[in-house]
């Protein structure tokens, strides 16, 4: 079911968005060569506890997951492109790390993701990250009253194609509110002028993710981590936004 939220309820969502942004900022600052993925997960867990928030991931067990997720972050490194289950791994020079984080504050959920390179960066990896960011910006710009859901998807796909990248449609954005994943699904490619009319009060996560040389993925033996089929690296950017009469409101904007 697609739910539209009043301006008052969207205001109530702001603290969750700010907190998710604060956690991702702290994780970006902490991520460095030699830092263990489990240390990053522990940092986020401490911040959740201090804030009195609730993780959306620990007990999360959708049909595509082999078991409850059990951690508070998704940490996807190099050819791991989505849903990376944190494990005992120390980041190495040049690793491309994507971090996805969602939690509930006072009953409202926010969801966001960011990608970075630790240590010495390959320019191609930085370009891939920037493409996901540009696609996210384009998707947000299209999230205005009077447009349709397909306009958001088409804007994302246009950026990917301009960069020579393929688009995987198995996973994309989604509705956000009291739960992490709701309707509608927000594909990372589509046809403009098609799909759900965008109305004030719709709250969605928009999340472009691309890989260097493929659009195909497979599931790691851990039962969660999704990897590129050809071993190429991936990047992921995401914000939770609200569609308002005054334009898109980015609830998870980082300072």
Residue 159: inside a domain: yes
The total number of structural domains that make up the chain: 1
Instruction: Confirm or deny that 189 is annotated as ligand binding.
Output: no
CATH assignment of the domain containing 194: 3.90.230.10
Instruction: Confirm or deny that 100 is annotated as ligand binding.
Output: yes
pLDDT reported for residue 1? 86
Residue 2: inside a domain: no
Instruction: Confirm or deny that 83 is annotated as ligand binding.
Output: yes
d(CA 101, CA 113): 6
Q: Give 191-236 pLDDT, tens digit per residue.
A: 999 999 999 999 999 999 999 999 999 999 999 999 999 999 999 9
Q: Give 129-150 pLDDT, tens digit per residue.
A: 999 999 999 999 999 999 999 9
First-last CA distance in the chain: 33
Q: Is the dihedral of CA 21, 23, 25, 27 positive or negative?
A: negative
Instruction: Confirm or deny that 236 is annotated as ligand binding.
Output: no
Residue 1: inside a domain: no
Residue 238: inside a domain: yes
Residue 199: inside a domain: yes
Instruction: Confirm or deny that 174 is annotated as ligand binding.
Output: yes
Instruction: Confirm or deny that 212 is annotated as ligand binding.
Output: no
Q: Is the pTM of this model over 0.85?
A: yes
């Amino acid at each position: 079911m697609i739910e539209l939220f009043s301006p008052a309820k969207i205001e109530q969502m702001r603290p969750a968005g700010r907190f998710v942004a604060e956690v991702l900022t702290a994780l970006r600052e902490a991520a460095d060569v030699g830092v263990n993925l489990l240390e990053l997960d522990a940092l986020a867990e401490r911040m959740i506890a201090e804030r009195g928030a609730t993780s959306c991931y620990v007990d999360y067990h959708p049909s595509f997951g082999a078991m409850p997720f059990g951690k508070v972050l998704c940490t996807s490194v190099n050819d791991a492109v989505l849903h990376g289950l944190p494990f005992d791994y120390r980041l190495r020079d040049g690793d491309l790390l994507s971090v996805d984080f969602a939690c509930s504050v006072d009953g409202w959920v926010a969801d966001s993701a960011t990608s970075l390179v630790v240590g010495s960066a390959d320019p191609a990896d930085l370009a891939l990250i920037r493409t996901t960011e540009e696609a996210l910006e384009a998707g947000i710009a299209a999230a205005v009253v009077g447009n349709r859901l397909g306009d958001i998807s088409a804007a994302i796909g246009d950026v990917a194609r301009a960069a020579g990248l393929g688009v995987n449609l198995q996973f994309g954005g989604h509705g956000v509110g009291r739960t992490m994943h709701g309707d509608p699904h927000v594909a990372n490619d589509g046809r403009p002028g098609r799909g759900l009319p965008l109305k004030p009060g719709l709250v969605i996560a928009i999340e472009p993710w691309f890989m260097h040389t493929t659009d195909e993925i497979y599931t790691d033996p851990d039962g969660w981590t999704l990897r590129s089929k050809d071993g190429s690296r991936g990047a992921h950017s995401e914000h939770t936004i609200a569609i308002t009469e005054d334009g898109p409101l980015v609830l998870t904007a980082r300072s």
